[in-house]
């Protein structure tokens, strides 16, 4: 009884995992053939690392497309802590983008994706810190859970568990946890609570996917002892697809657009090296699966199924894939007759896809709207068409989650379209569509996921589906489809989204941070959007009582779903310094709604909806600013110009091609956005104009750039070399090297308190070597490291000043960190007269 229960739950789990939403795939005859071969391979590989982009797509593609193994990638984090090259989203919103990019990558290389609850909290120099912030036991539990659920025969670590401190602490941690998880997954005493839902599992062996990179150079690697390494020739050419393995891997890697990891494929021989770490050693070193039966014999009663699938593959007709349908349906029936087990669930899904592909069976459920609220009725247009001579009947459709079956009993004749329209009643209790890992507040190191069953699931869980029950050759087969919403874009063509479940009302506060440099009140706009027709209620902006908000309530009425309205509250700050979070709360019929809807739209990923608490950080701060006019040159993308506007400055975004002496004349300060010298090629030819601007008595502020791919060597008027120095401890003590320097005194007096409450990290890519014309102003370091003096460097040049800063202002300002505002104001106000020789003031 217990066993049956476990297996039913297992079935449920696997079906959640497999049926994540994606655009319908329309494989061609060669791709179908490939899927048939995969159907006949019962072996599993799990690749483990820490971030989106750590994975070796060449190896994943090779394992999936050449070996035909189920190939998973467990990225412990969703990459929330990185930088975003394509838009303003940071932190958890960036994690949402990177999650989708990984899913797109896996669609290309054939892998499957998993995550743990670990949050990419930012750069970490060693695994001790990482594992402490993550909560090691929980992340280890998730890794063990993934092993027990996915049941890999072989595990491959991207990183070396024996070299802490040589790479990102997340990287080493991923390998260390993998080594532990390998031992624990089969131990029923480890994380026993999981065994209500999964069984223990022992992977056969674990490897480290090494490369010359880990040895320092190609020469050192060539010279190294390779007796414990196995070399795999991954430079395969897939003739039916017309691409090399490396070309597929490059396409996959190019999905990481938010990281700017476009990649060009190569051709020809290629070797991947794996170092054996633990488990059963390889004797012949010919296959990672040595000693594992990867045929259908692996499953009790599976032998005849394997034989039948081999026959299907041998007789497969590339000109007529539909000819395989009778035998495929037979194989499907045989699989259904097996005892419940891991492979039965997986192979059932695989073979259903193949049957649909071979018959050109297209099934789709399209919602009449992009959004719907809980409890509402959604009209669905159902499309079903069979494009083969196979005998088919659309018996019924079942809508999920209401589980209502409608019998249709219509024949699906070759290439005759069947359209049906049905109404689907959404339950009042249905969850809003949003990344499940963001639903509850998490900690710095870990997302909160209350339902164990959801842990590891890569994508947003979409609950509204339609099951098409189709009789093919007399056998009824259920095909599940997630309800989609699609429309035509005049330029891009078919836009394919999914139905989103939204609250009745969402509100957006127009600013995320509101600065009050004095006691003058400010107006704050709140946008109200209706999730359904005819809503009527009150809105309030909730702030602590020392903040005055008028009026107390604003009534609103919206007649039509999707329309919006903006209302304004007047906010008066207290006289003394204060920080508060204002919440926008709507009340309709006594029910409170406090969510903001954030839609993330990029061409390369599925549209994402995130629901966050609608709030604004209000800061009463004694910030002194002068009236400088600022020209801002955008780099990789940041929200600093918005913050400058909040501070009261006039900011103009100047495009690189607009940089001329005449254009700059009206400005006092030029500021470059983050990584401008990595991403804006045109700047290479504008440096002389910018330096002349400084020479003539103005100020130039350059924010951080990375060491890679600078568009010019000469980013400053004096020699300056960026290094990889960074201070990741955001609250590391900051020492003032030149306490009387204007940058620390005018117009705002900076104190050590101004470096408290910083987020994620203090700064990055500090210059290490710089001309003596520069005065280093600040010094700090992570625990146990030498002092880093390159955070803020100021050099007089002509009558003006050039400032280089690796401080992570781009993170702190949008978070409303007061000290960051004061320091930036001082940099902006540096006066041409500042020309104090270094040695005199250095203390
Ligand atoms: Zn990484």
How many angstroms is it from 49 CA to the middle of ligand 1?
7
Long-range contacts of 714-717 (CB under 8 A, 24+ apart): 714/687, 715/677, 715/687, 715/804, 716/770, 716/771, 716/795, 716/802, 716/804, 717/691, 717/795, 717/797, 717/802
- Residue 115 CA to ligand 1 center (angstroms) comes to 14
Closest C-alpha to 348, from 475, 249, 433: 475
Q: For residue 832, what pLDDT is reported?
A: 62
What is the Cα–Cα distance from 346 to 16, expressed in whole angstroms? 11
Q: pLDDT of 710-750, one tens digit each?
A: 999 999 999 999 999 999 999 899 999 999 999 999 999 99
pLDDT digits (tens, 9 = 90+) for 250-296: 999 999 999 888 999 999 999 999 999 999 999 998 899 999 999 99
Distance CA 458, CA 267 (A): 31
The rounded Å distance from CA 482 to ligand 1 centre is 32
Q: What local confidence, expressed as pLDDT, does residue 841 receive?
A: 38
Give 65's DSSP letter.
I
Q: 146 CA distance to ligand 1 centroid (A)? A: 20
Question: How far, in Å, is the centroid of ligand 1 from the Cα of 477?
Answer: 42
- As a three-state string, the secondary structure of 591-650 is EEECEEEEEECCCCCCCEEEEEECEEEEEECCCCCCCCEEEEECCCCCCHHHHHHHCCCE
Ligand 1 centre distance from Cα of residue 57 (Å): 14
What distance in angstroms lies between residue 793's CA and the mean position of ligand 1's atoms? 29
Cα(261) to ligand 1 centroid in Å equals: 13
Cα–Cα distance between 328 and 312 in angstroms, integer? 7
pLDDT at 7: 46
pLDDT at 20: 37
pLDDT at position 3 is 43
The CA 164 to ligand 1 mean position distance, Å, reads: 14
Contact at 8 Å (CB) between 640 and 608?
A: no
Q: How far is the CA of 148 from the centre of ligand 1 (A)?
A: 24
Structure tokens at 252: 């996959």
Q: To which H or E segment does residue 357 belong?
A: helix 342-358
Cα of 673 from ligand 1 centre, angstroms: 24
Centre of ligand 1 from the C-alpha of residue 50, in Å? 6
Determine if the peptide bond prior to 483 is cis (ω within 30°): no
The residues of the chain scoring below 50 in pLDDT are 1-21, 834-843
Q: How far apart are the first and last CA of the chain?
A: 77
Span from the CA of 69 to the centroid of ligand 1 (angstroms): 25
Q: Supply the pLDDT for residue 22.
A: 54
């Amino acid at each position: 009884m217990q066993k049956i229960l476990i297996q039913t739950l297992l079935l449920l789990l696997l079906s959640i995992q497999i049926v994540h939403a994606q655009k319908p795939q329309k494989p061609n005859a060669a791709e179908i053939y490939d899927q048939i071969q995969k159907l006949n391979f019962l072996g599993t590989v799990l690749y483990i690392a820490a971030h989106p982009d750590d994975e070796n797509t060449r190896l994943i593609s090779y394992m999936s497309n050449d070996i035909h193994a189920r190939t998973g990638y467990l990225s412990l984090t969703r990459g929330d802590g990185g930088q975003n090259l394509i838009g303003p989203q940071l932190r958890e919103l960036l994690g949402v983008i990177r999650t989708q990019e990984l899913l797109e990558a896996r669609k290309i290389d054939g892998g499957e994706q998993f995550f743990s609850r670990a949050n990419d909290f930012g750069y970490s120099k060693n695994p001790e810190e990482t594992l402490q912030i993550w909560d090691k036991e929980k992340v280890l539990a998730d890794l063990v859970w993934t092993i027990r659920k996915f049941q890999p025969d072989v595990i491959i670590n991207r990183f070396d568990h024996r070299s802490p401190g040589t790479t990102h602490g997340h990287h080493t941690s991923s390998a260390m946890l993998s080594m532990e998880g390998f031992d624990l997954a089969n131990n029923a005493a480890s994380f026993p609570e999981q065994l209500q839902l999964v069984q223990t599992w022992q992977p056969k062996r674990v490897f480290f996917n090494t490369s010359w990179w880990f040895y320092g150079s190609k020469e050192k690697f060539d010279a190294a002892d390779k007796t414990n390494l196995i070399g795999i020739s991954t430079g395969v050419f897939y003739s039916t697809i017309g691409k090399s393995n490396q070309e597929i891997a490059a396409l996959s890697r190019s999905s990481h657009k938010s990281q700017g990891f476009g990649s060009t494929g190569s051709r020809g021989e290629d070797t991947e090296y794996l170092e054996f770490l633990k488990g059963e050693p390889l004797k012949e070193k010919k296959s990672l699966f040595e000693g594992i039966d990867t045929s259908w014999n692996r499953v009790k009663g599976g032998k005849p199924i394997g034989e039948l699938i081999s026959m299907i593959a041998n007789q497969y007709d590339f000109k007529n894939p539909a000819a395989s349908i009778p035998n495929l349906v037979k194989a499907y029936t045989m699989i259904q007759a097996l005892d419940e087990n891991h492979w039965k669930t997986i192979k059932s899904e695989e073979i259903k896809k193949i049957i649909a592909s071979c018959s050109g069976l297209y099934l789709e459920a399209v919602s009449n709207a992009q959004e719907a609220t809980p409890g509402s009725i959604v009209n669905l247009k159902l499309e079903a068409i069979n494009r083969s001579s196979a005998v088919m009947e659309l018996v019924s459709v079942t809508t999920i989650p209401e589980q209502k079956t409608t019998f249709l009993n219509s024949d699906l004749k070759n290439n005759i379209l069947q359209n049906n329209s049905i109404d689907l009643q959404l339950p009042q209790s249905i969850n809003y569509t949003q990344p499940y890992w963001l639903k509850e507040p998490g900690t710095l190191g870990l997302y909160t996921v209350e339902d164990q069953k959801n842990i590891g699931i890569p994508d947003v869980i979409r609950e509204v589906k339609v099951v098409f029950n189709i009789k093919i050759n007399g056998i009824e087969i259920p095909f599940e489809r997630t309800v989609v919403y699609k429309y035509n874009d005049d330029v891009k063509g078919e836009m394919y989204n999914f139905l989103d479940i939204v609250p009745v009302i969402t509100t957006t506060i127009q600013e995320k941070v509101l600065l009050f440099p004095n006691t003058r009140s400010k107006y704050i706009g709140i946008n109200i959007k209706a999730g359904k027709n005819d809503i009527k209620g009150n809105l309030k902006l909730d702030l602590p009582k020392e903040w005055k908000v008028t009026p107390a309530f604003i009534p609103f009425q919206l007649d039509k779903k999707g329309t919006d309205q903006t209302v304004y509250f007047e906010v008066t700050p207290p006289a003394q310094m204060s920080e508060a979070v204002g919440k926008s709360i709507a009340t309709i019929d006594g029910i409170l709604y406090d969510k903001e809807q954030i839609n993330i739209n990029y061409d390369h990923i599925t549209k994402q909806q995130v629901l966050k608490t609608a709030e604004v950080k209000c800061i009463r701060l004694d910030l002194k600013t002068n009236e400088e006019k600022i020209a801002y040159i955008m780099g990789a993308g940041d929200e600093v110009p918005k913050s400058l506007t909040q501070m009261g400055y006039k900011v103009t975004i100047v495009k690189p091609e607009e940089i001329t002496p005449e254009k700059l004349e009206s400005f006092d300060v030029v500021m470059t956005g983050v990584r401008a010298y990595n991403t804006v090629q045109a700047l290479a030819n504008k440096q002389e104009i910018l330096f002349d601007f400084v020479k003539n008595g103005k100020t130039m502020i350059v924010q951080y750039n990375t060491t890679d791919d600078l568009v010019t060597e000469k980013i400053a008027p004096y020699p300056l070399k960026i290094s990889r120095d960074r201070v990741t401890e955001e609250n590391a003590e900051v020492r003032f090297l030149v306490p009387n320097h204007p940058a620390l005194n005018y117009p705002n007096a900076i104190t050590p308190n101004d470096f408290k409450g910083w987020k994620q990290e203090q700064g990055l890519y500090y210059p290490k070597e710089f001309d003596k014309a520069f005065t280093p102003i600040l010094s700090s370091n992570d625990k146990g490291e030498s002092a880093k003096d390159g955070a803020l460097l100021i050099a007089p040049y002509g009558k003006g000043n050039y400032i280089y800063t690796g401080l992570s202002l781009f993170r702190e300002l949008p978070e409303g960190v007061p000290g960051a505002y004061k320091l930036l104001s001082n940099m902006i106000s540096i006066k041409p007269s500042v020309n104090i020789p270094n040695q005199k003031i250095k203390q």
